[in-house]
Amino acid sequence: MGQKIIEVENLTKIFGEKLIAVNNVNLSVEDGAIFGFLGPNGAGKTTTIRLMLGLIRPTAGEVRVFGERMTPGSSGLRRRMGYLPTNPRFPPRMTPIKYLDFVGRLFNIEREERAKRLSMLLRSVGLLGDASREIAGFSTGMTTRLGLAAALMNDPELLILDEPTSGLDPAGRRSTLELIAELGKEKTILVSSHILSDIDRICSDVGVISDGKSIFSGSMKEMKKSTRSHVIRLELEGDLPKFCDALRKVRWVVSIELRGDYGVDVAFAPDVPMAEAVRQATDLVSSQGLDLISVTSSTSSIEDAFMALLRDEESHGFARAA
Amino acid sequence: MGSPERPRRDRETVGLAPFWAIAQADLGSLFRSRITYGWLLAAVFIQVVRTLGSGAAVTSSVVPSGLSDLVYIWSLVLIGLAASSVSSEAGELADSIMSKSVTRLDYILAKFTSRVAYALVCFSVVTAVLVGLSLRLDVADYDAAGLAEAVLLVALTLVALTALGVGLSVALRNTVVAMVTLLVLWYAMTFFFPILGLGAISPGSVVGDLPSIVRGSWTAADWESVAGFLAVSAASTALASAYFHAKDI
């Protein structure tokens, strides 16, 4: 097990004795991980991140970063961190060159080093051509790219990205995700998002938060496994009713549901291994003379796993209330 | 995108680097502003007209009159700039500054320093023109030390105004509310504090004493004003720093 870079213990934040934004959250991020921080809008992701950076103080609990407690005065810890906020806001009258130089000075990076690093970063995020324009005229995508460059100015060991693909077009989103995956080879990264496919694509570990409470923390594989639903979906071409009749005679099949003109959801008994269910179902497809278009396990979808976690949390909530 | 060799800097401390970076960036943006140029041009022009167009005027009335402009009228510019110093940055403060290697004290002291430095530089330019031209007037009834004391006392008054403004800008999130509060406070100090027996921290009392100070008469009440404005500046800086240290950003 790797060293823990972020440890969040019983973290609670109540604003004005009215709003419980974060409620007893626990999670940990290991060295070298790309950790996906998932949750619906308003779940408390940004508040948790701001607590991790020491921008706000916890009502209870604590955040430890690099083994040390994070407080508003922990500027030494923040020197080792990079942060990209959601829809970042920068001094509008500054140019990217001036802003990145300013950030470099905040980290006490030497002048020569600052110049070298900011030109390298501006090239990397594709802002070299706009380096002398005022930030005020930048689009959302350009501002996000500048934010990413600013987050990397001090070459941090830990990178915290809050909704990095928010407001980006498909091409920008794709290149940002590729960039994060590339950065993940040498840094520990925490990426918050409500876009499940983004997290599925780049993250090794995941934490899920809902209504300010953490409802899962572990590897992506564990998350999908924990919400296994014992259903396979087949997409077929051919005589579907005849195939369904044949399936009903199979011992381990619990139920069958037709999905449109091509799809069949087959629920199987929990004691049957997934591989065995898939093997026997595809054998049956061949023997019935149908063309197999695709086979999907519902456990491979992070959307299903995420929704199952939320449903589970909701039912637990009702149980606790009762 | 990260380089194998990390940027060279002291791993343990950044010292005063963030303080200087914030103060210099703030001063840079203030001195690039059109408000500054407009203020300086108008103020200098008025001082030139006042001294050259005053005929057989006397130094002990022209200099206090010029300095009183700074307290009564040009202080409006300082009220606007000081009271917006922190609250106007609220949106970008966390994103672009406080999430970096910056302490709360670095930021707030840099803001106080830059705004006070700005006020003093602008004051010095306008006062240099005023005093320079006043020394050539027909009736030069001034005492050199008294002239310097009068200028320094008004400078201290404006430092207190700036410190109050930055303090209110920390305490009040809304820039307009901070400006209006400072405006009301400043004019209350100017016109009503003497009635309430608080003349020592009243800019109005200071302006009233300027003619005699310029002629060389420095009294115990003037020392009280020095102590009062220093105390106001120090208290505002200390309270604002403590509040900023404790607040969520």
Query: pTM of the prediction?
Result: 0.81
When CB atoms are compared, the residue of B2, B22, B97 closest to A155 is B2
User: With 80 as the cut, is the pLDDT of residue A305 above it?
Assistant: no
Q: Which residue in A has a C-alpha nearest to residue B26's C-alpha? A: A91
Q: Which domains, ranges and CATH numbers included, belong to chain A?
A: 4-226 (3.40.50.300), 231-300 (3.30.70.100)
**Alpha helices in chain A, H assignment, sequence order:** 45-52, 75-78, 96-106, 111-124, 140-152, 170-183, 196-202, 220-226, 240-248, 274-287, 302-321
Rounded Cα distance, A78 and A70, in Å: 9
Kindly list the residues from chain A whose CB atom is less than 8 angstroms away from the CB atom of residue B12. Answer: 76
Kindly list the residues from chain B whose CB atom is less than 8 angstroms away from the CB atom of residue A75. Answer: 14, 18, 101-103, 106
> Highest mean pLDDT range out of B53-67, B131-145, B191-205?
B191-205
Rounded Cα distance, B88 and B168, in Å: 12
Kindly list the residues from chain B whose CB atom is less than 8 angstroms away from the CB atom of residue A144. Answer: none
Rounded Cα distance, A222 and A224, in Å: 6
User: With 80 as the cut, is the pLDDT of residue A4 above it?
Assistant: yes
Whether residue B21 and residue A102 make contact (CB cut-off 8 A), yes or no, is yes
User: With 70 as the cut, is the pLDDT of residue B177 above it?
Assistant: yes
Question: What confidence tens digit (pLDDT) does each residue in A258-279 have?
Answer: 888 888 888 888 788 888 888 8
User: With 70 as the cut, is the pLDDT of residue A321 above it?
Assistant: no
User: Distance from A108 to chain B by nearest Cα, in Å?
Assistant: 6
H or E segment to which residue A210 belongs: strand A205-210
